[in-house]
Amino acid sequence: RRRKLAVGGGILTAIGLMTYEIFRIRRQFDSLVDTSAMDYDRKRPDYIYINYSIYRESLRRMQEEQESKTFVNIISHPVEKWWKSMKHSVAWRLLKMAQSSDRHDRVKAVRQLAMVDHLKSWDYQHLAQICDARTAVSLARSNCDLRWFLPPRFLGVMKNPKVLLKDIHRLLEDVQSNKCAATLLQKTFGKYEFQQVEPDQETLHYVKGFRMNTELELLKQCIDVFAHLSEYRDVAERIISEGGLAHLMEIYKIFRDDFDMTLKICRVIANLSVCWSHCEDFFVTGWISVLAQWTRTEDMRMCVTSAKTLRNLDTDDSGFCLYKSKIYPLYPLWRRKRRPEVDVVFVHGILGGVFVTWRQKEGVASEGMRQGGVIKMNRVPGKQSFSADLLESLEGRDKNRGDLSEDWEIVYEDCPEEASPDAMGPFSVSGEEWNAPVENAYSNCWAMDWLQESFPDIRVIGLNYDSTLSEWYSKCHGCGCHITRGTVETRAREFLEQLVEAGVGDGGRPVVWVGHSMGGLIVKSIITQALKNPDDKIRDIGTNTRGIMFLGTPHRGTSVAKLKQHTQMLLSPTMEVREMEENAKSLLELHSDFVGRIRNIYPGVEIVSIAEGLPTILTSFKLSYHVVTEESARIELGDFYRLNDDHLGICKPSSRHSFLYQRLLGLIRRIHEDLQQTEVTPSGRSPA
């Protein structure tokens, strides 16, 4: 009998354990699948029951008010209805005109459409559905209402990264005829194993999200691969033809909250935009809408890069040209009626950048301008830090007035310590100019923010390139093409080709160059190569050069680059560093060739050379060193100045009342005045 009880108890225990296990497994499955969506259709609607007696009096008063306005409504309602219909009809007619075959009519219609701000949201969306690619680009470049653009398709749904990686791998296989593409394909996907994905798993809802760290990291590497390959025009054409824009949109959906990744994607799209004939592909995949939104962001890099992309696609622009990977149009960002009269080109030095080198000298005003990796536009107020003590002392002498007297002359804080005998100023500012109202916001790029105020009809361009001091930190993609692209001559040749595409110096337009450190050497090489070239378009860049400003340029090299043999083996300096050794043969030959051509062939070029007067702190050990000596920064032509600043600060004015900035203004102003004099006939009338 005890045996039967034991067997029965064991059976009951086993049944209980099995029941508990089944219940536990069922709970786990229920937690994986959200079943609330299945109950959506069965959910009964909720109602709010209003006590009519409480609102009876208020409803009665509203009814009386409506009855008192009956006569007015009889007249106003038809008029209001007609007015709304007319506004909608006018927008439709303008949109139809913007899609006509005549470019002049299209430009006028787009200009009027960009000013339309009285429509409802559904009106904008309705018009956006019948908008074509060319009109959408024109509207995006006219700073119009963002409701003109439809959002990208399926913005709330993301593609499975595994499926997306497979599509990208197939795309790279199609373009691997390029040497870099074949190498990067093997390096990126060499160890990755593709897995079969079920059809119902090809898309993932944005709300749910996912965790695929390996695939996400691989997608980030793919963006770097696209950024490198898209610099080649033929590869960019293949990427677009094989659906690369759609793949990039899927990557953007995944990383849309990651600003650094979004910025990289923006640069890839900018590189692809040189294929302007594929404008329809940009429009269909939703990139025109995204680019229009990016042009309104606070970050300067994102704003300029997206505006550059739209400019490449805007074939209706009167000054249509192409800005390739290393050319950034800093001003103007939007479409203009008139073509620019002067081109001002800025070239940074080693370790610099178009969005780094040309910032205002930092102080209290610059705090908060770089938060969360964002370089903000000119919107943060600041003060002229260098003039605080001077203002306090001068205002103390004149207690009756807050401003300085007009007969005062205020010497610039960065006034040169030394200058050549025939050097021109200005070296001071009058009290009247000092008291004039000035926008004191801190600028992350004074070349873009300040020059347009004095010369609205110029074009400001920034050249950008990657550079490092050591091969250990070189941005090598694994294909090895960077090894031969580091010399001054090679970089200048590459820039020269892209500057021709950008129309620099086209039609006799004067060109002004501003080069800092190695950037000055690149400017010299660009001009020299242009003057040697038999092609008229390329030679125009050299012949139309009217002004050059060298900022701390090592014309004869720098002793910092001359390292001992064991130090070179340890640090492994890059090609650009080794090339700038003191009295290097290549630099001396370039300098001799440049001076000879400028002096003998084109003596009308105004040259300004500025040298550093203070040592620069190079390392975290606070070691100071003169990067470019005064002897190396001197040139036999033009004006020479030595400022009380170091190598890094010599290109960063503290405010608009700075000698550096005012000297550049004077150079551009004289060129601008000469241009106006040549356009006017002796009788005082412009030629027909």
Least confident of 48-62, 210-224, 399-413: 399-413
Instruction: Determine, yes or no, domain membership for 398.
Output: no
Instruction: Determine, yes or no, domain membership for 528.
Output: yes
More confident residue, 312 or 191: 312
Average pLDDT of span 296-312: 96
* Strand, helix or coil for residue 529: helix
**Residue 317 and residue 459: Cα distance in Å, rounded?**
14
146 and 228 part of one domain? no
545 and 587 part of one domain? yes
Average pLDDT of span 293-313: 96
Instruction: Determine, yes or no, domain membership for 552.
Output: yes
Query: What confidence score (pLDDT) does residue 78 get?
Result: 64
100 and 238 part of one domain? no
Q: Which residues contact 74 (CB under 8 A, 6 or more apart)?
A: none
Peptide bond preceding 416 in cis form (omega within 30 of 0): no
**Residue 622 and residue 445: Cα distance in Å, rounded?**
27
Residue that is last in its domain, among 150, 182, 215: 150
Instruction: Determine, yes or no, domain membership for 134.
Output: yes
CA 288 to chain centre: 16
564 and 610 part of one domain? yes
Query: What confidence score (pLDDT) does residue 398 get?
Result: 43
Query: What confidence score (pLDDT) does residue 74 get?
Result: 60
Instruction: Determine, yes or no, domain membership for 521.
Output: yes
Is residue 88 predicted with pLDDT exceeding 90?
no
165 and 145 part of one domain? no
357 and 227 part of one domain? no
CATH number, domain containing residue 272: 1.25.10
Instruction: Write down the mean pLDDT value for the chain.
Output: 81
CATH number, domain containing residue 608: 3.40.50.1820
**Residue 95 and residue 276: Cα distance in Å, rounded?**
22
pTM: 0.81
Strand boundaries in 214-333, DSSP class E: 327-331
Looking at residue 464, the DSSP 8-state letter turns out to be: -
**Residue 516 and residue 643: Cα distance in Å, rounded?**
14
Peptide bond preceding 332 in cis form (omega within 30 of 0): yes
Average pLDDT of span 554-558: 91
> Contact at 8 Å (CB) between 143 and 334?
yes
Residues recorded for the chain? 688
Domain count for the chain: 3
Is residue 70 predicted with pLDDT exceeding 80?
no
pLDDT above 90: percentage of residues in the chain: 47
DSSP 638-660: SEEEEESS-TTTTT--SSSS-HH
Is residue 51 predicted with pLDDT exceeding 60?
yes
Is residue 69 predicted with pLDDT exceeding 50?
yes
Query: What confidence score (pLDDT) does residue 149 get?
Result: 94
Amino acid at 592: S
Cβ-in-10-Å burial (0-12, 13-18, 19+) of 485 comes to middle
For residue range 104-123, list pLDDT tens digits in order.
999 999 999 998 888 888 88
**Residue 582 and residue 318: Cα distance in Å, rounded?**
46
The boundaries of the domain holding residue 109 are 95-150
Please, where are the H alpha helices in 148-211?
161-174, 179-189
Query: What confidence score (pLDDT) does residue 686 get?
Result: 37
135 and 244 part of one domain? no
> Contact at 8 Å (CB) between 451 and 512?
no
Average pLDDT of span 132-160: 91
293 and 174 part of one domain? yes
Average pLDDT of span 181-205: 62
pLDDT band at 3 (very low <50, low <70, confident <90, very high): confident
Average pLDDT of span 506-531: 96
* Tokens found for residue 318: 């009167």
Query: What confidence score (pLDDT) does residue 266 get?
Result: 97
* Tokens found for residue 407: 């007969």
More confident residue, 462 or 178: 462
Least confident of 149-158, 276-285, 512-521: 149-158
Task: Return the closest-CA partner of residue 608 out of 586, 571, 646, 639.
Answer: 639
Amino acid at 397: R
> Contact at 8 Å (CB) between 460 and 429?
no
Looking at the DSSP bridge assignments, the partners of residue 343 are 459, 511
607 and 487 part of one domain? yes
212 and 246 part of one domain? yes
**Residue 270 and residue 179: Cα distance in Å, rounded?**
22
